[in-house]
A and B are shown apart, each in its own frame.
Chain A
Amino acid sequence: MFVLAMISFTGAYAQMPNDAVYMSKNTACLALSYTHSSWDKYWENTLKRENLNIGTQTTQVGMAMLAVGVTKNLNVIVSLPYIWTQASAGNMKWSKGFQDVGGWVKYRFYNKAGLSLNAVVGASIPSSNYVPDFMPLSIGLQCKTATGRLVARYRHKTGIYATAYGSYILRSKITIDRDSYLMGETLYNTNRVSVPNAFDYSARVGFTNKAIQTEVYAERNECVNGDYIRRNGMPFPTNNMKSTTVGWYGKFQPKNIGFNARVAYVTRGENVGQAMTYSAGLLYQFRYLKSGK
């Protein structure tokens, strides 16, 4: 799950905040997705290890997401995940609850000869008062986040395309229930915790036509700084989490109703679990303004 905290905005969606696909004007797409992510090994700092008192950590996510085409070059996306965590061994209490409401605005400011450039801004705020520092079984970090992202895509007329993006994620300080904690070797006598900012970048290649989309991708998530999981300790929101993920995404949407799926695997990391993730989603596209002209 440590990964989840960083990638909670990349589920399996029709129009994702990290692609260059747009809903046309006056249409919207509602996506309901289910994600299953689990790991039985994690990186304690750089040491890859198992933990028999966690066994396999599993995070499941049910997510509702709505993408709205305001114009053909401007989409708005909102999402809300419900998350369950569990561990197959040990005595740590499992968690569940609504995590963070996310909102995105995606704007295509250049679109010529198959090349599009897109600016995306997003923000998220926790939707419930979940406990952020009972990791790895917390459902999130309680941060407010703001993300700025640039997405470039080139699509050949054959339908083959390549996408690249990079983003910077501002993360707010959080408040925990305890009033002291260690960050690095320093004891902080306060309940306020500084969570490091993060960035990500990704490259994707695929094929798309009216009904089908299929792509493979690699992405890298990193905090800009932070401390590490202490020897034999549990993770903490201040950790410098890093991960490299490879994955496949596919979508089949011949008409209004469609499906999508995603498989992702963390190949390298620090202070995160080596998660294998599966997602499946149901898509429903509709016109919300019949008279829109």
Chain B
Amino acid sequence: MNKIYNSRGRAAFFATGLFLAFTVFSCSKTVDEPTASINNPSTLDENAGTWKPYILASSSEVPVDEPKAATSAEYIAEIAKLKETMAGVTPQQRDQINYWGAGAAYRWNEIARELAARYNSPPAVNAEGKYPVPDAANPLADPKFPFANPPYTARALAYLSVAQYDALVSAWNYKFKYNRKAPSKIDASIKAILPVSDLPSYPSEDAVVAAASYTILKAMFPGEIPFLDAKLAEHKNSRLLAGMNVESDIVAGSALGNAVGAKVMARAKTDGMGAANNQAKTADMIANALKIGISQPWKSQEFPARPPMLPTYGSVLTWNFNTATVATLRPIAPPAIGSPEYEENMNELLSIAKSQTREQARIANFWSDGVGSYTPPGHWHRKAATLAHDNNFSEVRTARTFALVGTAMQDAGICCWDAKYYYYYPRPNQMSSKVKTSVGLPNFPSYTSGHSMFSGAAAEVLAHIFPSEKANVDAMAVEASVSRIYGLIHYRFDCEQGLATGHKVGNYAVQRAMTDGAEK
């Protein structure tokens, strides 16, 4: 062989290798997330001031003063100040304007989901072999408060959504009562950065949502007050920078949002959540389960055994039906352990444990929504947010969607926890060590599946609000439900009963939706 040729070939080969190695993939470490476009509502929903609120007796329960007239010296001064503010908009501020322009309730729902994920960490065992209970008075200690598990997150998102909705229904009442036009409609020299509709600008719907959301979230996530302070200020400021509101629109909106938020939080303080972790009740629950024929009640599979998650959450106050209804929604008893039906369900799991397909693993992972995630209620709130945004819903209709879905999901969680601790049914993993999970084993009884109940309820409501999406959301709920079989933590009967009951629970919210005044 020609030696010179050979050595050239070698060098070329080497250089090619280097080139390939460093160019086959992009060196950028930036991950692109789906971006939400600026919301441009297709309707004003002028009569939303007549929609039925959840907590407020009426949309005029919290008074809002009449604004100064557009011809007043005060207003003219505000407009002048607004122009000054707008003159100095930086590129970074423009990004903030566009960010919040995707929708106020949309963004605060997203923020809440992020907080839920950050706080979704089960306490670590301490040196004494105990699991310390998070302390609301010391939220950043170890363990952090809250442990934003699915029942906690379902509740936090329900309150957030209800506060946003009630505050916006009030805001709409005053908007159309006082009819103050948007600054750019009063002074044509103001070129607003976001789309301007005929929606009256007083009180500011963004300030209303920001203040109401802030009030709920600082109570639900007390360790995040500095983070929430910054979001609140940025949101309100973005509306001035964008030329969408004058200062008095924002001030009135903040006052209204704060007042409604406080009224909604008053319910939260007395809804029974403070007593939802009553571990003293579990001995009676286990005794009851044995009495009704559950021969091997649930036991924690963790080392050391961890007390079960929120055993008395089933007694927390419901939204769309009264507390007495919870027991009537309790599903039929699960199959007796050892019965043919039980064995059949167990065999399905043993077979998946042996030969889980990649597609089954994918479905289980997609819906896992476990530790460090925004939980199944967060997953469905995200779906609701996407649908409301894609359908160009107004601010108030978006909040209504969240409130209907959010309250339905907390109701589903309450009913599910009631059933879980009534039957105290063992997880398949307790019954056979051959069943190991590909998603993480929840530390509470099996029957029924929480994912299935949350998903059934959410799909029921979303299918009502977005009829063309019915097939899609129903299929999603079925997939979320069976994902727990594929992930090897639930029997099929847990999932089927849970999904059916979830749909029933969701229907209560649908009944409300048909009579709340928004579908006239």
Chain A positions within 8 Å of B, measured between CB atoms, are 52-53, 70-71, 73-74, 89-94, 105, 107, 119, 121-123, 129, 131, 133-134, 144, 146-148, 170, 172-173, 176-182, 185-190, 192-194, 196-197, 230-234
Contact = CB atoms under 8 A, between A and B. Distances in A.
A178 B366 contact: yes
Q: How large is the interface on B (under 10, 10 to 19, 20 to 34, 35 or more residues)?
A: 35 or more
Given A71-B6, A187-B113, A231-B121, A92 B21 contact: no
Contacts of A91: 301, 429, 436-437, 441
Nearest to A133: B365
Which 4 pairs across A and B sit closest by C-beta, in order of nearness? A177-B365, A146-B21, A232-B124, A52-B303
B372 interface: yes
Contacts of B291: none
B122 A232 contact: yes
A121 B33 contact: no
Contacts of A186: 114
Contacts of A192: 31-32
B31 A92 contact: no
B8 interface: no
B329 to A, nearest CB: 30
Contact of A188 (B25, B26, B33): B33
A185 B18 contact: no
A188 B110 CA distance: 11
Interface stretch (B9-17, B85-93, B307-315, B388-396): B9-17
Contacts of A131: 361, 365, 438
Contacts of B142: 231
Nearest to A71: B10
A222 B361 CA distance: 30
B316 to A, nearest CB: 26
A146 B118 contact: no
28 contacts: A74-B14, A89-B303, A91-B429, A92-B436, A92-B437, A92-B438, A93-B438, A93-B488, A105-B14, A107-B10, A121-B21, A144-B24, A146-B20, A146-B24, A148-B22, A170-B22, A172-B26, A177-B362, A180-B374, A180-B379, A182-B118, A182-B373, A187-B114, A187-B117, A190-B33, A231-B121, A231-B142, A234-B371
B7 to A, nearest CB: 9
A107 B14 contact: yes
A182 B385 CA distance: 19
A105 B373 CA distance: 42
A178 B303 contact: no
Contacts of B274: none
B150 to A, nearest CB: 15
A197 B28 CA distance: 11
